[in-house]
Amino acid sequence: MNFEFSEDQNLLREQAKGFLSDNCSTKVVRKILEGDESFDQDLWRQIVEMGWTAAVIPEEFDGLGLSYLELSVIAEELGRVYAPVPFSSSVYLATESLLAAGSKEQKNNWLPKLANGSVIGCFAAVEGSGQISPSTISTTVQDGVISGAKIPVADGDVADFAIVIARDDKGVSAYLVSLTGSGVSRQTVETLDPTRSHARIDFSEASAELLGEAGQGWALLDKVYNRAAILFAWEQLGCADAALEMAREYSMGRFAFGRPIASYQAIKHKLVNIYVKNSLARSNCYYGSWALSTDAPELPIAAAAARVAAIQAGYLASKENIQTHGGMGFTWEFDCQLPYRRSKLLSINIGSEAVWQEKLISAIESERAA
Amino acid sequence: MDFNDTPEEAKFRQEARQWLAANIPDKKELAGLDTIAAAKLWQKRKYDAGWACITWPEAHGGRGATPIEKVIWEQEEGKYNITEDNITEDVFSIGHGMCAPTMMAWATEEQNSKYLPRLASGEDIWCQLFSEPAGGSDLAALRTRAEKDGDEWVINGQKIWTTGAHYSDYAILVLRTDPTVPKHQGLTYFFIDMKSPGIEVKPIRQISGGANFNEVYLTDVRVSDSQRLGAVGQGWQVAITTLMNERASIGSGGGGVNFDRVFELAGKVNIGDKPALEDSGVRRKLADWYIQEAGLKYNGYRSLSALSRGETPGPESSIGKLVGAPKLQDMSSFALDLLDSSGAILDHEFSEDAGKYQNAFLNSPGLRIAGGTDEIMANIIAERVLGMPQDVRVDKGIPFNEIPTSG
């Protein structure tokens, strides 16, 4: 039994931690929160230089060819510091879409650029309120041109291209669309977490290139979301652990009625509940990473379990962290808002808790029917 | 990451499997034996072949196996249902899991050579006389007195919640030897023959109707000073050895109520005109239990990985009972809801799954209390894992006989 990260992977974690604590303090995150920039370009450049965007891209496309265990480690550490960069869109969604369905030519065109950070990718599926399904997609492609509106698209305002889920004469398909060409207009939209930029993208007869088989867009979305769910879960867990640590540290130093509030059972039990949920989420994430790194048939179950567990952990940790801080936790000045915002954003970005609970039970049903 | 044994582990597993396949008692052999006799038969057979208490030193009846080998052995043995409710575990778990480690740490070599092999072979069963009516979560508030009389101590008082006292041969116990000093300092630890004159065992009937626990009354019971473990006044420190092993010994014993069972049940019963399993509320609840169960399972794998590398499992291993016991209660309650009105039926002939959910519902409150209540477990995790300070203790530093009590 070896259900642990390897020594090399732990070493990578230490490097990532050290790098991020030097270069992604909450001061850096707050600069994006309070300023007009969509993401921290300096941090992004350094992340690219460290090779993180190239991590799982095969060497033949100028990537590092590392495993998803390494990427999991990176994801957790990025989540722990609420990194204000388009990593999840470009790496977990756009890169994964190309790896899963790209033609040789498309891979050659895009993967080396994604690896070296000269382009940023994003994933455009949602078209407004409520859960998406094949029947809610109204963005349309005809004769190689795309028209319609996508909102919200994470990092849609800063990406160079998007993987767009659209309707065509074969049903629902995935398209690769350059966002810098004609027929594309985009505007940044204000969101729950300004440290992660989102956009509305309007396509008006922009040129679109089929990605994967026509009519297989929804299957591709499912596949990419399942894989991304595990990495989102690690980010979410990193964020939840940061919230727990913030609450713990504050409770040790804050005195009320003559003693640290950490000595009250009401606070202890609150933080233990968080610790328990984080621990359960972590073990589910381990299993998810194992499934992802081995392409196991259990992946859909493992992904949904990791995602649901991490969503629940993130919510509990981030809201009870504010509660532990009392009034100060509610102020703009304190950092409690960072995990609270990020946690909720992560938990709705690629489908909410209810969606993934349903996916989990459906996947278990399919497994048992097989 | 992989789930495979190392070559040495695989070899050990193979050896264990072969021995179990050849030696597991069949139904015929156990017919007519009560649970204790059946458990003793199996324990003796394991002992004779060197498969009992395998991590203990050979001199004490074990085979000096590693912790990971113990886990492998338990996994393989666990594949057989020795008796219907696997009573072998219940009879010996306290003796093997708690009494023996305490003896190994504190008794003389002569005592260990005398008592431990008999405990390993199943010839003797041991129990633990700790809790008292006035000292449960606050164990150190116990009041049963021991007074020195020559080379002996004379014991008077009452213990409670003693699992298996009615069939045990020996017990470990903590007693108050000095009520004039602060509570933790006035305790002393002994082991004792349960057949000693003056010991009276009365079963306690539980909510479930069963009687696994007892009250134990001690009236002028005499124990030799040579059966003292640790120094006079050092009892709390010795008790900590026992308690550290308790968490490992008390599982979350699900009685067969788990995700798989409730998932199946939801497919069989209806909500409205459709199977309950098609109801989105039911599906969301099932998803939540699945992640708890999977989380605990993979937590276990992480602990195993640490053991496999010869390391001590991390703090994640401490959450099992705190998650498992409330989960069992909630799942069994939910299963009764799914059964709707017929959830009331405990009668094995008419109830779904022979009363499994009803029994789990009635038994589960005990699991949230035994071996440390949910609240005490949370305090332990807060203090030991998260490093948070102890609560204020108003009895700190006060002589035991001056501490206010409830009566």
- Of A69, A305, A357, nearest to B294 by CB-CB distance is A305
A8: its two tokens: 């090399």
Contact A252 B389 (CB under 8 A): yes
> How many beta-carbon pairs below 8 A join chains A and B?
149
- Identify the pLDDT of residue B252: 43
pLDDT in tens, A305-346: 999 999 999 999 999 999 999 999 999 999 999 999 999 999
The answer on B211 and B197 residing in a single domain is yes
The answer on B241 and B162 residing in a single domain is yes
Residues in chain A, how many?
370
pLDDT in tens, A192-205: 999 999 999 999 99
Chain A residues whose CB is inside 8 A of the B294 CB are 283-284, 287, 305
Strands A161-168 and A198-211: unpaired
Q: What distance in Å separates residue B379's CA from the closest CA in chain A?
A: 7
pLDDT in tens, B255-276: 678 999 999 999 999 999 999 9
The string of DSSP letters for B34-70 reads -HHHHHHHHHHHHHHTT-SSTTS-GGGTS----HHHH
Confidence of residue B249 (pLDDT cuts 50, 70, 90): very low
Cβ–Cβ under 8 Å, residues B1 and A69:
yes
* Residue B393 included in any domain: no
Where among B124, B158, B182 does a domain terminate? Answer: B124
Q: What is the CATH number of the domain that holds B13?
A: 1.10.540.10
Closest-CA residue of B relative to A247 is B386
Strands B228-229 and B187-193: antiparallel
DSSP B182: B
- Identify the pLDDT of residue B87: 41
**Side chain identity, residue B278:** E
| B382: contact with A, CB 8 A cutoff | yes
H-helix or E-strand spanning residue B306: helix B280-308
* Residue B328 included in any domain: yes
Chain A residues whose CB is inside 8 A of the B389 CB are 252, 259-260, 262-263
In the CATH scheme, what architecture does the domain A7-115 have? Orthogonal Bundle (1.10)
- Of A1, A262, A280, nearest to B305 by CB-CB distance is A1
**Is 70 exceeded by the pLDDT of residue B136?**
yes
Chain B residues whose CB is inside 8 A of the A299 CB are none
Instruction: Sort residue A282 into left (φ over 0), alpha (ψ -120 to 50) or beta.
Output: alpha
- Of B280, B299, B390, nearest to A279 by CB-CB distance is B299
Q: What distance in Å separates residue A259's CA from the closest CA in chain B?
A: 9
* Residue B342 included in any domain: yes
The answer on B225 and B138 residing in a single domain is yes
Question: ipTM strictly over 0.85?
Answer: yes
- Identify the pLDDT of residue A253: 97
Q: Which residues constitute the domain of residue B186?
A: 127-248
Q: Which residue has the higher pLDDT, B170 or B311?
A: B170
For chain A, the farthest-separated pair of C-alpha atoms sits apart, in whole angstroms, at 74
- Identify the pLDDT of residue B78: 82
Strands B170-176 and B126-129: parallel
CA distance linking residue B283 with residue B375, whole number of Å? 30
For chain B, the farthest-separated pair of C-alpha atoms sits apart, in whole angstroms, at 78
B80: its two tokens: 């057989």
Torsion of CA B306, B311, B316, B317, to 10 degrees: 90
Averaged pLDDT, B164-187 = 96
The answer on B353 and B277 residing in a single domain is yes
The CATH code belonging to domain A121-214 is 2.40.110.10
**Is 80 exceeded by the pLDDT of residue B84?**
no
| B297: contact with A, CB 8 A cutoff | yes
**Please, where in chain A does CATH 1.20.140.10 lie?**
218-369
- Identify the pLDDT of residue B19: 97
Mean pLDDT of chain A: 97
The answer on B192 and B118 residing in a single domain is no
Number of domains in chain B: 3
Q: Which of A77-81, A126-130, A146-150, B349-353 has the lowest mean pLDDT?
A: B349-353
B392: its two tokens: 């204020």
Chain B residues whose CB is inside 8 A of the A1 CB are 3-5, 9, 68, 301, 304-305, 308
The answer on B260 and B177 residing in a single domain is no
The answer on B357 and B267 residing in a single domain is yes
CA distance linking residue A321 with residue A326, whole number of Å? 9
pLDDT in tens, B102-119: 999 999 999 999 999 999
The answer on B156 and B57 residing in a single domain is no
The answer on B132 and B117 residing in a single domain is no
**Is 80 exceeded by the pLDDT of residue B98?**
yes
B79: its two tokens: 């594949």
Q: What percent of chain A has pLDDT over 70?
A: 100
**Please, where in chain A does CATH 1.10.540.10 lie?**
7-115
**Is 70 exceeded by the pLDDT of residue B246?**
no
Strands A255-256 and B126-129: unpaired
| Strand-pair partners of A175 | A164, A210
Chain A residues whose CB is inside 8 A of the B304 CB are 1, 3
Averaged pLDDT, B87-93 = 68
**Is 60 exceeded by the pLDDT of residue B248?**
no
Confidence of residue B304 (pLDDT cuts 50, 70, 90): confident
Where among B70, B89, B124 does a domain terminate? Answer: B124
Confidence of residue B305 (pLDDT cuts 50, 70, 90): confident
- Identify the pLDDT of residue B407: 64
What's the predicted TM-score (pTM) here? 0.93
* Residue B377 included in any domain: no
CA distance linking residue B206 with residue B202, whole number of Å? 13
Closest-CA residue of A relative to B319 is A276
The answer on B315 and B237 residing in a single domain is no
**Is 80 exceeded by the pLDDT of residue B315?**
no
Q: What φ, ψ does residue B245 adopt, rounded to 5°? A: -85, -15
**Is 80 exceeded by the pLDDT of residue B89?**
no
Q: Which of A8-12, B44-48, B234-238, B252-256 has the lowest mean pLDDT?
A: B252-256
To test the contact with chain A by mutation, choose from B68, B302, B388, B391 the residue with the greatest count of A C-beta atoms within 10 A, namely B388
- Identify the pLDDT of residue B250: 44
Q: What is the CATH number of the domain that holds B312?
A: 1.20.140.10
The answer on B243 and B133 residing in a single domain is yes
Q: What φ, ψ does residue A347 adopt, rounded to 5°? A: -80, -10
The CATH code belonging to domain A218-369 is 1.20.140.10
From residue B83, give the alpha-carbon distance in Å to each of B37, B40, B95, B273.
Answer: 11, 12, 19, 40
pLDDT in tens, A257-307: 999 999 999 999 999 999 999 999 999 999 999 999 999 999 999 999 999
**Is 50 exceeded by the pLDDT of residue B88?**
no
* Residue B207 included in any domain: yes
CA distance linking residue B358 with residue B344, whole number of Å? 8
Contact A5 B295 (CB under 8 A): no
Cβ–Cβ under 8 Å, residues B388 and A248:
yes
Non-local (6+) Cβ contacts of B102 within 8 A are: B172, B189, B229, B238, B241, B242, B245
| B303: contact with A, CB 8 A cutoff | no
**Is 80 exceeded by the pLDDT of residue B254?**
no
Instruction: Sort residue B372 into left (φ over 0), alpha (ψ -120 to 50) or beta.
Output: left
Closest-CA residue of B relative to A307 is B291
Closest-CA residue of B relative to A260 is B389
- Identify the pLDDT of residue A39: 98
- Of A2, A268, A312, nearest to B388 by CB-CB distance is A268
The answer on B119 and B15 residing in a single domain is yes
CA distance linking residue A298 with residue A302, whole number of Å? 6
* Residue B406 included in any domain: no
Contact A263 B391 (CB under 8 A): yes
Buried b (16+ CB within 10 A) or exposed e, A168-180: beeebbbbbbbbe
Interface of B with A in 148-177 (CB under 8 A): none
Closest-CA residue of A relative to B9 is A1
**Which of A359, A370, A209 lies closest to A299 in space, CA to CA?**
A359
| B385: contact with A, CB 8 A cutoff | yes
